[in-house]
Amino acid sequence: MNKIFPAIFLLCLLLSFIFAVEPDDRGYIVKVGDEAPNFKLQLIDGKTITKADLKGKVTVLQFTASWCSVCRREMPHLEKDVWLKFKDKEFVLIGIDRDEPLDVVKKFIEEMKVTYPISLDPGADIFALFAQKEAGVTRNIVIDQSGKIVFLTRLFEEKEFKAMITKIDELLSK
């Protein structure tokens, strides 16, 4: 009996790690594998895009704001390493600016020198479909061709950012 107890204890400990479900401490209310919520975006050029318009494309929704220093650090990488790399494929990257007026957003985009489409998000209503409304920006949601969420990022961490690019590349190679 004394020899069995440590083995059972170790097995239980191992199983608790394997099946542990950690609460999302990053503020997301969606998770990988979920169908992306329906959304309607108003781009700063006046064009409207819905989730249905993006079916068949790999999509990255990037939540951002002009006052966010981490967003400002990430955006040149999104431009160079994601948008410019994949824009000629069945891919779209849309920046979604959290609750700022059009003139502020236009100035922000000009400063950041990004060329990917940008949407307004008055009241952070689109943001609230994916994350707790009071949670921070600097997050990317990767949606596959069928509309499923396949990758989530928070803040700008190099290893996670590279993993996101790898995931996009894999999806576009199918």
Taken in order of first residue, the domains within the chain and their CATH numbers are 25-173 (3.40.30.10)
Q: pLDDT tens digit string along 23-44? A: 457 899 999 999 999 999 999 9
What tokens were used for 168?
A: 């996009």
Average pLDDT per consecutive 10 residues, the chain (174 residues; last block may be shorter): 52 42 71 97 96 97 97 97 98 97 97 98 96 92 98 95 98 93
Please report, as a single letter, which amino acid is at residue 38: N
Give every strand in the sheet of 149-152, ordered side by side: 48-50, 40-43, 118-121, 91-98, 58-64, 139-143, 149-152
pTM given for the model: 0.85
